Amino acid sequence: MEKQHETAPSLFSACISFLFNADARTASKNVRDISVQFKAKMSQIQNNITPSREGVAFEYIDAMNQQIDLGGKYKVEVLDTNHKNGPDIYIRDQKTDNVIQKQQQKINSRTADRVANNGTYGDQEIRTPKGQTQTPKNQSVKEANVSKDQVSKAANNPGRAANQYKLKAAIAEIKSAAAIGAISGAIAVILLSGLEHFLAVERGEIEINEAIASVFMNALEGAWSGAIGGGTTAAVTAFVPALVPVLTIISGPLLVIGSYQLITQIGQIIDRHKFAKRNRLVQSIYTEESEFFDSFDTQVYEYLTA
């Protein structure tokens, strides 16, 4: 595909990636918020006994882990204070703010089984770390994706654990943006390259198999370019969150510009196709007339010299 066709798909895919990656961006922000709360809470209880610190650490790192897995459609919230037998974690619908699940975190599977059996916490989901000597026996007790070893490390070094989850959330955000960018970039390039090459097939300039191969290769290039653009933009927002409002403001106008460029290039491709067909018709007529007059001149000459 010609170089002038590369700018519009790249700009288009970068804007689409930013706009449609809002859920992953929200999840990443929520993880950052939980990590700040986690470090503050662990600072307050740094002199507490180990089981107490581990219990709090489990609440927060499991919350961050769940937030990454659930994405931005849901908000995981750790309750700093609650009444007796109240939940440790709320999971809310991000749009309605309704609580869709209440969770109670227990670092000991035996304790979790006991409270599940006697119904102490009602309809709350009871969670416990995985990798314990005794796994939960009660089906209402769910094992978290975080292990007992991770809980112990987080209790001993909260800052490091918080940074690890912030990095995981940032990577998830970047991966999501790169995937969206790759898809939108490939679609935009297929639109331009497909139109260009299949019109060339109609004009008889190339064969259909050549057109398919060219469009496929261009689509791969577009996907790669879109993935890089989307991933780079997401990396900026993940590690410099202050730029999100600025990009939110300019992404709309830039998308309009990119879309306009795509439409303009489509028009240019169609115009070139019409021009090429018209030139071919003119050339065909000129050739036929030239052959006619050449033949006529030959006949006249032969008549006069006979």
Average pLDDT value for residue range 167-196: 92
pLDDT-derived band at 302, boundaries 50, 70, 90: low
d(CA 81, CA 136): 26
Check the CA dihedral 65-66-70-75 and report its sign: negative
- pLDDT at residue 294 in the model: 52
The overall average pLDDT reported for the chain is 85
* Residue that wins the pLDDT comparison between 205 and 273: 205
pLDDT for the residue 4: 47
Look at residue 144 in the predicted model and tell me its pLDDT.
Answer: 94
The token duo for 84 is: 């007796």
Tokens standing for residue 3: 């170089």
- In tens, the pLDDT along 102-112 reads 999 999 999 99
Which token pair is 92?
A: 């809310």
Instruction: Name the residue among 219, 243, 223, 220 with its Cα closest to residue 233.
Output: 243
Mean pLDDT (whole number) for 134-140: 86
Return the pLDDT at 132.
83
Q: Which residue has the tokens 């999100």?
A: 244
Verdict on whether the full-model pTM lies above 0.75:
yes
Query: 305: pLDDT confidence band, cut at 50, 70 and 90?
Result: low
- List residues bridging with 102 in a β-sheet: 90
pLDDT on residue 179? 94
Handedness of CA 76, 79, 83, 85 (dihedral sign): positive
d(CA 36, CA 217): 46
User: What is the mean predicted confidence (pLDDT) over 236-259?
Assistant: 82
Asked whether residue 128 carries a pLDDT value surpassing 70, the answer given is yes
Least confident piece of the model among 114-128, 159-173, 193-207:
193-207
Q: What integer pLDDT is reported at residue 286 of this predicted model?
A: 47
pLDDT grade, residue 99 (50/70/90)?
very high
* pLDDT more than 90, % of the chain: 48
Q: pLDDT digit string (tens) for 66-84?
A: 999 999 999 999 997 666 7
| pLDDT of residue 204 exceeding 70 | yes
**HEC letters along the chain:** CCHHHCHHHHHHHHHHHHHHCHHHHHHHHHHHHHHHHHHHHHHHCCCCCHHHHHHHHHHHHHHHHHHHHHCCCEEEEECCCCCCCCCCEEEEECCCCCEEEEEEECCCHHHHHHHHHHCCCCCCEEEEEECCCCCCCCCCEEEEEEEHHHHHHHHHCHHHHHHHHHHHHHHHHHHHHHHHHHHHHHHHHHHHHHHHHHHHHHCCCCCHHHHHHHHHHHHHHHHHHHHHHHHHHHHHHHHCHHHHHHHHHHHHHHHHHHHHHHHHHHHHHHHHHHHHHHHHHHHHHHHHHHHHHHHHHHHHHHHHHC
Q: What is the pLDDT of residue 75?
A: 96
Structure confidence at residue 126 (pLDDT): 94
Angle CA 107–109–114, to nearest 5: 115
Domain spans of the chain, in order of start: 3-18+170-301, 24-167
Non-local (6+) Cβ contacts of 89 within 8 A are 59, 62, 63, 66, 76, 77, 78, 79, 102, 103, 105
The pLDDT of residue 271? 77
CA distance 21 to 193: 26
Could you report the per-residue pLDDT of 257-295, keeping only the tens digit for each?
777 777 788 778 777 767 666 666 545 554 554 554 455
Around Cβ 36, how many Cβ atoms within 10 Å?
12
